[in-house]
Amino acid sequence: MSIVTEDPIVNLDVFEKYESEVRGYSRSFPTVFTKTKGYKLWDTNDNEYIDFFAGAGTLNYGHNNEAMKKLLIEYIENDFITHSLDMATEARGNFLRKFNEIILEPRQLDYKIMFPGPTGTNAVESALKLARKVKKRTNIMSFTNAFHGMTIGSLAITGNASKRAGAGIPLTNSVSMPFDQYISTQASLELIEKYLADDSSGVDLPAAIILETVQGEGGINAASKEWLQGIEKIARKFDILLIVDDIQAGCGRTGTFFSFEYAGIKPDIVTLSKSLGGYGLPMAITLFNRDLDIWEPGEHNGTFRGNNLAFIAATEALSYWENDDFSNDIDKNAQLMHDFTAKVVKEYPALNAESRGRGMMQGVACHVDGIAEEICAEAFERGLLMETSGPKDEVFKFLPPLIIDEAGLKTGFAIIEDSIEAVLEKR
Amino acid sequence: MSIVTEDPIVNLDVFEKYESEVRGYSRSFPTVFTKTKGYKLWDTNDNEYIDFFAGAGTLNYGHNNEAMKKLLIEYIENDFITHSLDMATEARGNFLRKFNEIILEPRQLDYKIMFPGPTGTNAVESALKLARKVKKRTNIMSFTNAFHGMTIGSLAITGNASKRAGAGIPLTNSVSMPFDQYISTQASLELIEKYLADDSSGVDLPAAIILETVQGEGGINAASKEWLQGIEKIARKFDILLIVDDIQAGCGRTGTFFSFEYAGIKPDIVTLSKSLGGYGLPMAITLFNRDLDIWEPGEHNGTFRGNNLAFIAATEALSYWENDDFSNDIDKNAQLMHDFTAKVVKEYPALNAESRGRGMMQGVACHVDGIAEEICAEAFERGLLMETSGPKDEVFKFLPPLIIDEAGLKTGFAIIEDSIEAVLEKR
Amino acid sequence: MSIVTEDPIVNLDVFEKYESEVRGYSRSFPTVFTKTKGYKLWDTNDNEYIDFFAGAGTLNYGHNNEAMKKLLIEYIENDFITHSLDMATEARGNFLRKFNEIILEPRQLDYKIMFPGPTGTNAVESALKLARKVKKRTNIMSFTNAFHGMTIGSLAITGNASKRAGAGIPLTNSVSMPFDQYISTQASLELIEKYLADDSSGVDLPAAIILETVQGEGGINAASKEWLQGIEKIARKFDILLIVDDIQAGCGRTGTFFSFEYAGIKPDIVTLSKSLGGYGLPMAITLFNRDLDIWEPGEHNGTFRGNNLAFIAATEALSYWENDDFSNDIDKNAQLMHDFTAKVVKEYPALNAESRGRGMMQGVACHVDGIAEEICAEAFERGLLMETSGPKDEVFKFLPPLIIDEAGLKTGFAIIEDSIEAVLEKR
Amino acid sequence: MSIVTEDPIVNLDVFEKYESEVRGYSRSFPTVFTKTKGYKLWDTNDNEYIDFFAGAGTLNYGHNNEAMKKLLIEYIENDFITHSLDMATEARGNFLRKFNEIILEPRQLDYKIMFPGPTGTNAVESALKLARKVKKRTNIMSFTNAFHGMTIGSLAITGNASKRAGAGIPLTNSVSMPFDQYISTQASLELIEKYLADDSSGVDLPAAIILETVQGEGGINAASKEWLQGIEKIARKFDILLIVDDIQAGCGRTGTFFSFEYAGIKPDIVTLSKSLGGYGLPMAITLFNRDLDIWEPGEHNGTFRGNNLAFIAATEALSYWENDDFSNDIDKNAQLMHDFTAKVVKEYPALNAESRGRGMMQGVACHVDGIAEEICAEAFERGLLMETSGPKDEVFKFLPPLIIDEAGLKTGFAIIEDSIEAVLEKR
């Protein structure tokens, strides 16, 4: 282990002593991780963990994917360019070409591709800027329980109150509408349409509506086809751009490359990040209809738009999408997950629970205060990484790497059942 | 070249066809780059370029630094964890420990370290949030010609008008004061103090003053010791936090690790990114006095706070700072650069030029419209990457990797002189 | 007429030539008015008009009320102080004492009285400032179709899109919720409660909820008791201040002095203006619970807080409230108005209309584009002042002076019926 | 006194008991006023006061001016229309015609006239809205120590920190530049020009520059001709509208009707209120170049735009401007005031004072903490109303009615000298 630390002992004290109190996951998963592969991780004490967390959806292709790994090593060994801002490089050019060929063309999406900086919030900020520039309007419509990022522009369209309070300034130029099922599908659509049609509603005509088709941080709330189609229709009717933030739900998480494919809608702007980089390397893109590309050169920039290692891995990741095999595998896994959440809901009435989600982005919402967090803590003790989501952390959610196999899922499910039982017993 | 592209031909058409009009550097440097080493790059036509640009200050240790390269390959080969959000990992822990030991302790800086997301603008946004949270004030004082990032919070304290216009919304909760020498050192300090002392100035007491000690994008404007000390004094007097954005000028660019060391000031908050990651990999940290660490767990988060490849390279980069050798080398290079800019100013009066900068962040400001851009374009033709900065792109700036040698610098200087002569001849 | 004009001829050309295009009512009622009394006006051509408009609710006690008129003349003749800022004057002191004695005490309202400047929007702005100061929160919850004024603070909580657009800047720190019946009473209350109870709704906890019990400009939308009580309950539950903007619906317009009395609620803050001044003279007050009075001296000020002529008339107007006679008269008139709107709805199905309103603030909403405006124009031709309201000007509204008698109402009704018939015939 | 109070006893307890803590002048001048005439007031104890305050500049023509008084009584007696919103009335039409004839035409000002609501802040808000609408920009440039009003739009361009804090929200879309002499005339102009010429200054191009030619609340700071001309030149150069807020300094206060006449500048927009109404009645207008009149009908409105009593008095007040006599009288008084302030500065070195102001808007700035307030308090005891201004209340200011005679001024001056001596003795 000499390459990581001169001295093998890095323990949690180091983090407590030097790292800011803002750290989060090192509290939820209190150990020091060292190695990983596929859907497993190991800590410095050689404990093994199954990963139902996947870097909050960043590791759809598993940890340290072999094919990507080889290409990365070869790329590095050969001294190909690593950091390039937005200069033209072979790695970037190849990604552009392949992304168009494998992802966009077959889906008849004539999108231009923008590299807005390598994180999700960079992509979201660029999408909002472009929408406002195109429509010459300042307001953005977002939804209850939305999560779009931590920089001021993205935070203004994020629902979470404590994260919003972190801004230290009022968050403006946004309006939060009820997501699908927040009241009801129909009531949400009707309210939004009424607000927009009414010249006296007090809701300024937005430049764009931004949504996640499945709200990951907000509680694994999956929007119905009907609602998504309804929102698209409203956007068209009132000349509003539709932005799908596909940072967590995209890249195959729900079974198709884009999460919105199942509803048959065509957003004007799409943001991608997290699993886009394939290997967990920082990368993000913003996609938009060709006729929206009114950016001035350099109008939005950033230092790490040329993370070529990510381009190499991201390009390799596209090979998963050359035929339907991967989608079919995801569907099978999703069915197993669905069966399991249904079973949990049925067999543990004490959780007062309901199933949530779509594809391989599922969870169980427990209407018993604090119980989901306890279950996750128990699961960690038993070797499973799993986190909660939702406004009250009421959902324990399953976000395993998409490449997980049936055995992996079942081991995870067994740990969860044990954990539930342990928690219920203690209470 | 098969690992990068199935087919070796990636040409500029690919970028024009698929990438957004927002792309910038692929226009300034119109070729497709493939390999790099140290202070050199090569394009797909095997043309060689000397790098006086260094990823806008991200490649202080050169392209594909050998020591880091070996560690990266070893780390990847051994399947150590790559992506970890803000979970505890050996690589992160080791970085924390070493950064404290090599950088903070010797400089008697008792800073906590925050991982705010891997880009500069993430670090800046986190710094602003923390300052506002600590001081319970909303206003931030920044400076003319400042550049702090493209997300809404950072953009509000950035000077550039066209980038600001890209926001599409008014940028608020900030006030732009004259930087050192904008009027004069003394006049700047007096005006700021007068505004703050006056209860009727219309300038709301800020939570923080944020500054770059050398404004890179704004025109290579180097603040004097006197001004920096004056600003620190004002910050203390009015109970305002002092933030140094050391993203471009830090990590040795001016000769010391932090650019503010030479003025003997101690900022309350410091942002680092760009060369911090050592190898050009996305990474950023925010440093702040221990008593400011009032963050709630998870109050600011982000997906790519655990870019462990960057931690490995960043930790290795710290070895440059274990003794004074590297600083001394930088000083020598800086002197060569200084001599050269002085020579240019003197020998080419037609440029109507002046020297700018400090350390290895220098440039020549030409008071002839458009000439600096022409010189950069000529230099590119002759095999040198160099960019302009300043509100009117009036400065051609030298930002070579710090590890460049005298031969490299002299070759670059010769190209610049040739380019100047070519431009002057054409005009 | 020599006192008004040296030369009697002031015609509409004067207004077109010298007054801004922003003028409105001189277009709806295209004549030059000269004299008035009670519920009648006369123009320079001696045409007589019945007033169903009452200065948009400012002339509840009729034009040029005799008792007030005498006192005003006597006050002026005796050189009592006219303009006094917020110095103590007899007239102001007497108003304070009487307002407390006649209005507040009998209703067990222990409100402090603030003079915020003499217009409604001054009162609203002061209410918002106080609420934000008390609660240390920035957000204000208002409602669809609300109208609170034209200055930036008030405009941010006003629904009308074209008036909002007039701001020229984004209107911030406010959220617009569905008013009673916008969706349904229950759905409105449930949505608001859900938004507030949910820590991830994206709706920041407001300092205050501000509402009109009957929305005058927004379409004569009368809130039900159930809804008002529900809103008060929500405000209490979430520690939010409740502000009733009673500028148009207060001062007896709905039968009781305050419009909220019928619902049995007790707002924390109340704004009054329009008919408060009795004679149509500019005056406004802001009332609030004694324990909210944390203002610093002079923290909100204004030049015309001491319009003593208004204090004299306003104090006299309070005599209408010393017993129940006036309220009873209003109720009788309200019943006549109600019967008439019901009749119109029933007898003119071509209007596709519905009755709206409460007390002497009623109207007929016509779901036929443009017809309400045509009816008002016809009515003007026939000697009746009446205006439209609602987002599409779809309501013709009756807002006569409260002191109108049955004969006056019936003459007005007859003109309206003639006008409807004339319009329907033309179409 | 029966017309004011049934019972003659209104004492200060009434105000303490019922009126908000926000009250200010009833604390500075702790007595109950009852009658006034010209430049004198009397309280309920028959104490006489000389008025060097004039309703903060609202009573330029003196209290209860005889000519206006007669017209008001006649107007009321004859039941001419009192309240008319913005309907056409004889009184309004006559004012429009006369204002154009007596004020605008002779000065070659082709302004349209807008009635924005009857207070100064209404006029300022309307001016800002129009400027932003015309220029499609959001920023407004104002100045240190400016005072423009208490509603959110006006407060954002007001300098006073405690008043700004009263907003409870960040005040945005404005930038505060140094007023003339804040640094120096030349330095102010140069800084502003540099900020505007520099595309990277961080100061967004404003829609308008708004200024007071003499800052009344901000410390009787009189702008020089040179600075005013310089500002106008800058406005023209950068296509920015120039707004003069002439609410306090206009209507003859500095000797000419508009305060900006002496500098020979022509603002694009002018706001007037305070003394415009002649008799101290609420009234305000906004004037602007004919080609800026792009308002939509009703885009800005308000209940009290038709205060016809004010129109009658305001029209009569215009007669003061039919020839130069009044201007000449003001100049004579101004000279007496100037001589007196010079004498005070010279003869009372213990005040460490300097003269301030222009026309009949003058004062003495004392650089001894708290002394100006003590002098005003002493003066009140001796029968003189006078208030302080400036960020630290360091100026005692003279703002007598313009119609005051030499005897009145001298009596006032004698009281001030006595007060200064009393204060200096006590200290």
Model confidence pLDDT, tens digit, residues C105-124: 999 999 999 999 999 999 99
Tell me, what's the pLDDT at A10?
Answer: 85
Indicate whether D8 pLDDT > 70. no
Tell me, what's the pLDDT at C1?
Answer: 43
Q: Residues of A numbered 179-218 whose beta carbons fall under 8 angstroms of chain C's beta carbons: which are they?
A: 182-183, 187, 190-191, 194-195, 198-205, 218
Indicate whether D277 pLDDT > 90. yes
**Chain A hits for D170, Cβ within 8 Å:** 169-170
Indicate whether B175 pLDDT > 80. yes
Q: How confident is the model at residue C4 (pLDDT cuts 50, 70, 90)?
A: low
Q: What b/e sequence results for B64-90 when a residue is b if at least 16 CB atoms lie within 10 Å of its CB, and e otherwise?
A: bbeebbebbbebbeebbbbbbbbbbbb
- Look at residues A378, A346, A380 and name the one whose alpha carbon lies nearest to residue A364: A346
- Could you say which of A142, A146, A199 has the minimum Cβ distance to residue C391? A199
Among chain C residues, the shortest Cα distance to B168 is held by: C170
pLDDT digits (tens, 9 = 90+) for C267-309: 999 999 999 999 999 999 999 999 999 999 999 999 999 999 9
Q: Determine the Cα–Cα distance for residues D422 and A140; give it in Å rounded to an integer.
A: 63
The backbone torsions φ and ψ at residue A48, rounded to the nearest 5 degrees and listed phi first, read -100, 140
Tell me, what's the pLDDT at C10?
Answer: 85
Taking phi first (over 0 means left), then psi (-120 to 50 degrees means alpha), and beta for anything else, what does residue D405 get? beta
Mean pLDDT, residues C75-103: 97
Closest CA–CA distance from residue B152 to any residue of chain C (Å): 15
Q: Which CA distances in Å does A143 have to A152, A193, B180, C142, C349?
A: 17, 14, 45, 19, 41
- Inter-chain CB proximity D161 and B199 less than 8 Å: yes
**Chain C hits for A391, Cβ within 8 Å:** 198-201
**Chain D hits for C161, Cβ within 8 Å:** none
Residue keyed to tokens 């502000």: C243
Tell me, what's the pLDDT at B427?
Answer: 87
pLDDT digits (tens, 9 = 90+) for D211-241: 999 999 999 999 999 999 999 999 999 999 9
**Chain A hits for D199, Cβ within 8 Å:** none
- Inter-chain CB proximity B170 and D204 less than 8 Å: yes
- Inter-chain CB proximity A304 and B118 less than 8 Å: yes
Check: CB of residue D303 under 8 Å from CB of residue C55: yes
Check: CB of residue A395 under 8 Å from CB of residue A48: no
- Inter-chain CB proximity C169 and B169 less than 8 Å: no
Closest CA–CA distance from residue C368 to any residue of chain D (Å): 23
Q: Residues of B numbered 148-177 whose beta carbons fall under 8 angstroms of chain C's beta carbons: which are they?
A: 169-170
Tell me, what's the pLDDT at B34?
Answer: 96
Tell me, what's the pLDDT at D3?
Answer: 57
Indicate whether B2 pLDDT > 80. no
Domain architecture of chain B: domains with CATH: 12-64+324-426 (3.90.1150.10), 68-321 (3.40.640.10)
Tell me, what's the pLDDT at D10?
Answer: 85
Is D38 within 8 Å of chain C by CB? no
Indicate whether D110 pLDDT > 90. yes
Q: Determine the Cα–Cα distance for residues D343 and D333; give it in Å rounded to an integer.
A: 15
Closest CA–CA distance from residue A352 to any residue of chain C (Å): 19
Q: Which residues contact A415 (CB under 8 A, 6 or more apart)?
A: A50, A379, A382, A383, A384
Among chain D residues, the shortest Cα distance to C51 is held by: D84
Q: Which helix (H) or strand (E) holds A114?
A: strand A111-114
Tell me, what's the pLDDT at B5?
Answer: 57
- Inter-chain CB proximity C34 and D138 less than 8 Å: no
Tell me, what's the pLDDT at D1?
Answer: 43
**Helix residue spans in B264-324 (DSSP H):** 308-317
Q: Determine the Cα–Cα distance for residues B227 and B239; give it in Å rounded to an integer.
A: 18
Show the tokens assigned to B37: 């080493």
Q: Determine the Cα–Cα distance for residues C144 and A203; give it in Å rounded to an integer.
A: 8
Annotate chain D with three-state secondary structure: CCCCCCCCCCCHHHHHHHECCCCCHHHHCCCCEEEEEECEEEECCCCEEEECCHHHHCCCCCECCHHHHHHHHHHHHCCECCECCCCCEHHHHHHHHHHHHHHHHHHCCCEEEECCCCCHHHHHHHHHHHHHHHHCCCCEEEECCCCCCCCHHHHCCCCCHHHHHCCCCCCCCEEEECCCCCCCHHHHHHHHHHHHHCCCCCCCCCCEEEECCEECCCCCEECCHHHHHHHHHHHHHCCCEEEEECCCCCCCCCCCCCCCHHHCCCCCEEEECHHHHCCCCCCCEEEEEHHHCCCCCCCCCCCCCCEHHHHHHHHHHHHHHCCCHHHHHHHHHHHHHHHHHHHHHHHCHHHCEEEEEECCEEEEEECCCCHHHHHHHHHHHCCEECEEECCCCCEEEECCCCCCCHHHHHHHHHHHHHHHHHHHHHC
Tell me, what's the pLDDT at A1?
Answer: 43
The CA-based angle A389-A271-A154, given to 5 degrees, is 60
Q: Residues of C numbered 327-356 whose beta carbons fall under 8 angstroms of chain D's beta carbons: which are they?
A: none
Q: Which residues contact A165 (CB under 8 A, 6 or more apart)?
A: none
pLDDT digits (tens, 9 = 90+) for C305-344: 999 999 999 999 999 999 999 999 999 999 999 999 999 9
Q: Which DSSP string corresponds to B158-218?
A: ---HHHHHTTSS---SEEEEPPTTTS-HHHHHHHHHHHHH-TTSS-PPPSEEEE-SEETTT
> Could you state, in chain order, the average pLDDT of each consecutive group of 10 residues for chain A (427 residues)?
60 96 97 97 97 97 98 98 97 98 98 97 98 98 98 98 96 98 97 97 98 96 98 98 98 98 98 98 98 97 97 98 98 98 98 97 97 98 97 96 98 98 95
- Inter-chain CB proximity A122 and B119 less than 8 Å: yes
Q: Chains meeting A at 3+ CB pairs closer than 8 A?
A: B, C, D
Among chain D residues, the shortest Cα distance to C31 is held by: D88
- Look at residues C172, B171, C128, C164 and name the one whose alpha carbon lies nearest to residue A172: C172
Whole-structure pTM value: 0.97
- Inter-chain CB proximity C64 and D75 less than 8 Å: no
**Chain B hits for D139, Cβ within 8 Å:** 170
Check: CB of residue A292 under 8 Å from CB of residue A102: no
Residue keyed to tokens 């309350």: B268
What is the three-class DSSP state of B114?
Answer: strand
Indicate whether D267 pLDDT > 60. yes
- Within a 10 A sphere around the Cβ of B10, how many other Cβ atoms? 24
The burial of B55, by beta-carbon neighbours within 10 Å (0-12 exposed, 13-18 middle, 19 or more buried), is given as buried
Closest CA–CA distance from residue A161 to any residue of chain C (Å): 5
Parallel, antiparallel or unpaired: strands B33-37 and A353-358: unpaired
Check: CB of residue A116 under 8 Å from CB of residue A305: yes
Tell me, what's the pLDDT at B1?
Answer: 43
pLDDT digits (tens, 9 = 90+) for D380-404: 999 999 999 999 999 999 999 999 9
**Chain A hits for D169, Cβ within 8 Å:** 170
Q: Determine the Cα–Cα distance for residues C279 and C403; give it in Å rounded to an integer.
A: 13
Check: CB of residue B383 under 8 Å from CB of residue B50: yes
Average pLDDT, chain B: 97
Q: How confident is the model at residue B7 (pLDDT cuts 50, 70, 90)?
A: low
Q: Which residues contact C372 (CB under 8 A, 6 or more apart)?
A: C364, C365, C366, C388, C390, C393, C394, C395, C396
Indicate whether C178 pLDDT > 70. yes
Q: Chains meeting C at 3+ CB pairs closer than 8 A?
A: A, B, D
pLDDT digits (tens, 9 = 90+) for C234-254: 999 999 999 999 999 999 999
Mean pLDDT, residues C1-24: 81
pLDDT digits (tens, 9 = 90+) for C394-419: 999 999 999 999 999 999 999 999 99
**Chain C hits for B169, Cβ within 8 Å:** 170
Is D389 within 8 Å of chain C by CB? no
